[in-house]
Amino acid sequence: MRAWLRALFSQAVVSWWWTLSAASTLSTFFFHGWAGKVRPVLAVSSVVGFAWANYRVFEKQQTEISSLRQKSQLHQPRIPDLKIAVDTGSRYILRPVQNVTTEDFSGMFLEFHLMIENKGQRNSTVDDFQVEISELNRTFRNLQPQETLTGIRGRHCVYAMNPANPQGLSKTGLIKIEPENTTNRATLIFYIPDVNLRMFAEGNLHMNGQDRRFPLLHCRLTITDTTGTSAAETFEMREG
């Protein structure tokens, strides 16, 4: 408050002197009738000077605020901003016991079809993966992408995989995304060994239909990069 009053007073003195000088000049050379009306002229000059002083103080404050905002934006840390876009075709594949096509299984592959966007202004390197399966009420952490699979044997058939995995997002366990950019639409595959028929039964998941497939699973994938920035999205996954 004191700073504002000081600024206003300093501007008011200058503005009052400027308006008084202007009024004196006008009355001397143009409006001779003003010479006998000192009080009204002084009053008008004071009002105009005070109003102009207020405007100058306001203008100066706005300039300072704008400058502070610009400096603040320059000093803001650049961080990634990740978002997962769900694509069609995600599935889970149950690994039969002893690689024999049967109803019993031990282990599960999760194949996510997705794209990842980095809306931030810094490179992002994703190196941590977590999946929560709602129907099983379990969360699986520190998962490693499967990058060199040649095939996956499921309960119903064998799924061929390209050993080079050109459609896989992960390379050497990492996903690198440039600022304000996206990955290609591709896949992430994880293997969870600690899933079995008993766990499905406890989750009230039973086989249905002629092909004896289990129902949809809702799998929430969470990715985290080296800066601690995370993104999560839920996938509906059918049994493959």
Q: What are the tens digits of pLDDT across the range 33-89?
A: 545 544 454 445 555 555 554 556 566 766 777 766 666 555 557 899 999 999 999
The CATH classification number of 82-239 equals 2.60.40.10
Q: What is the pTM of this model?
A: 0.67
Domain ranges of the chain: 2-75, 82-239
DSSP 162-195: -TT-TTBS-BTTBEEE-TTEEPPSEEEEEEEEEE
Dihedral angle of Cα 232, 236, 238, 240, to the nearest 10 degrees: -30
Q: How many CB atoms lie within 10 A of CB 28?
A: 11
How far is it, in rounded angstroms, from Cα 102 to Cα 115?
34
Percent above pLDDT 70 for the chain: 65
Q: For residue 97, what pLDDT is reported? A: 85
Q: Residue 13 and residue 45: Cα distance in Å, rounded?
A: 11
pLDDT, tens digit, 9 for 90 and up, residues 136-173: 999 999 999 998 888 888 888 888 876 555 568 888 89
Are residues 216 and 71 in contact, defined by beta-carbon separation less than 8 angstroms?
Answer: no
- Beta bridge partners, 233, equal 221
Side chain identity at 146, as an amino acid letter?
Q
pLDDT at residue 56, rounded to an integer? 63
d(CA 1, CA 101): 82
Query: Which contiguous run of DSSP H or E holds residue 236?
Result: strand 230-239
